[in-house]
Amino acid sequence: MLSEAARRSTGKIVGIIKRNWRPFCGMLNVSQIKESTRHLFTPADRRIPRIRIETRQASTLAGQRIIVAIDGWPKGSRYPNGHFVRSLGGAGEKETEEEVLLLEHDVPHQAFSQAVLSFLPKMPWAITPEDMVMREDLRQLTVCSVDPPGCTDIDDALHCRDLENGNLEVGVHIADVSHFIRPGNALDKEAASRGTTVYLCGKRIDMVPALLSSDLCSLRSNVERLAFSCIWEMNHDAEILKTRFTKSVINSKASLTYAEAQMRIDDTAKNDDITKSLRGLNKLAKILKQKRIEKGALTLSSIEVRFHMDSETHDPIDLQTKELMETNSMVEEFMLLANISVAQKIYDEFSECALLRKHPAPPPSNYDILLKAAKSKDVEIYTDSAKALADSLDVAKVDGFPYFNTLLRILATRCMMQAVYFCSGMDSDFHHYGLASPIYTHFTSPIRRYADIIVHRLLAVAIGADSTYPELMDKHKQSALCNNLNYRHKMAQYAQRASVAFHTQLFFKSRGILNEDGYILFVKKNAIIVLIPKFGLEGTVFFDTKDKTIPKLVFDEEGPTLNVEQHTFRIFDKVKVTIRLDDSNIQHQKIRMALINPIPGVSVPVPDVEPQAKKQKLDH
């Protein structure tokens, strides 16, 4: 008899109602039979079977990435039948692989149509007296933006100033994208379909045309821009005394990078209005963050990498993990506060059709690996609540192992559920687990997220700054929109990861074999999964395959531990590995890792199908 825990519901497929066929990217396996027109096509997606196609262009298409569509699957055939659609270019070429990546992750990336572009404002554009009717003139305020280097789609800007009563006024000013994108037109429908801007390495797939994303909506310095402002009166303990929302006009006094803003704050010789504003913001942000953490907000970890590109070839020449500064946290705190304030306002006004964002608490079983990993180092982690988890992570330390806490937070991130958009009238659980907030939404990035445009429209109606329209108040349509946005966000995340993986391969292609230190993140029956902090890279070191077995391989699931040749591997053990690019299969190039310390020569070439470590990132 199976134990209760081992039992699981099972079922069988009895019929297929609708085929979910789409055009597939992949490569042609040219038939060995001379003059044959029938060939097999191998899709890039390993879950899809090979497809039989007929073509006379086989010799031309060999070595190219092509698109094939399925026509049908005869009952007695091992493979479905399909037809050649078009070629994407040579396999392994950067532009080709980028196109494959976008197609396979269903990222809309075609040029904007004339119908969409026809709804853009006519140039030269200027703010008119009609635009000012429902707006506050905030052009005199010392507003500035703080963003990553090279950012052209600037969604948000901030200000902080002293009030005569001794309190502080803090403003978050967000690009007023909904002024330019009106409900139901072709531009609006295209943005709703795309759902999000997708950031690849060295490339951006915009949700809205560049005239808006990089120009008229971007809150660049020393130009007048339309904004939607959330303004608080706070005391010096960062307690909110008053909140108001208004459409506005601003003139940003500086577009800074995180590093530039940090240098201003730290430079005691500087005392201009912009620097004073930044120091005020930074001081309040630290208090806000401390309050959030005390309430149980999680500070988790995931390694993000930045590629330095060759200016001519645009190939990666260096790979570094991103460093976060105080100013990153400063901006984040005020964005979170604005999102929470707006969420409460739109829910108070429209309890049935507010577009909100929630982050479900993980089921207890998700934490198994985290608890085992901590226990292996005699560290106790409590997961009864977000606060219990946050507090136990804060005190989790191992003498002589400073990186332990970061590794633990990386594992904790993997335990999390995905945050999702939902319509308030279709759900009862609003809580955001990671932020420890009872309500949350997205308001601060309307240039790159369509959810924020809807939230802007709801807020505009709530303060009487814009008129409503039927779809905005229809909870069923709002819910269907949320489903599309959740899908687009998930696929954008996967596409971004695939882009990082491809550029990592390009980086290692020119490096040959490298030896690097790493830490074990997971222990499997026949392998260990190793994280290389220097590159933010994860890889699997295998100890057996179908062809080669290590005789003394003992796996203990409880640990989990893996005993190989008298050596026991545990989570968080430090190891040294060789890293190289295996490009023997041009369609599925992989980074291979092999162990060189503590026991060289026992790991084996990685089998063709590699288990993917579950990667989940806490996305507010």
| Residue 550: per-residue pLDDT | 61
Give 219's contacts (C-beta < 8 A, 6+ positions apart). 143, 145, 154, 155, 156, 157, 173, 175, 225, 227, 250, 252, 255
Considering the domain 512-597 in this protein, what is its CATH number?
A: 2.40.50.140
| Residue 336: per-residue pLDDT | 96
User: Tens of pLDDT along 567-604?
Assistant: 899 999 999 999 998 888 888 888 888 888 877 767 66
Q: Which of 40, 90, 43 is nearest to 67 (CA)?
A: 43
How much of the chain exceeds pLDDT 70, in percent?
A: 93
> How far is 539 from 410, CA to CA, in rounded Å?
15
Phi/psi of residue 463, each to 5°?
-100, 5
Q: Is it the case that residue 139 has pLDDT exceeding 60?
A: yes
User: Tens of pLDDT along 489-513?
Assistant: 999 999 999 999 899 888 888 888 8
> How far is 26 from 587, CA to CA, in rounded Å?
7
Do the first three CATH levels of 23-91 and 512-597 match, i.e. the same topology? Answer: yes
Q: Is it the case that residue 548 has pLDDT exceeding 80?
A: no
Average pLDDT for 381-404: 91
User: Between 299 and 306, whose confidence is greater?
Assistant: 299
Q: Is it the case that residue 610 has pLDDT exceeding 50?
A: no
pTM given for the model: 0.90
Average pLDDT for 396-403: 89
- In the chain, domain spans: 23-91, 114-345+449-501, 365-415, 512-597
Average pLDDT for 194-201: 95
Say which CATH topology domain 23-91 has. OB fold (Dihydrolipoamide Acetyltransferase, E2P) (2.40.50)
Q: Is it the case that residue 160 has pLDDT exceeding 70?
A: yes
CA 272 to chain CA centroid, Å, is 36
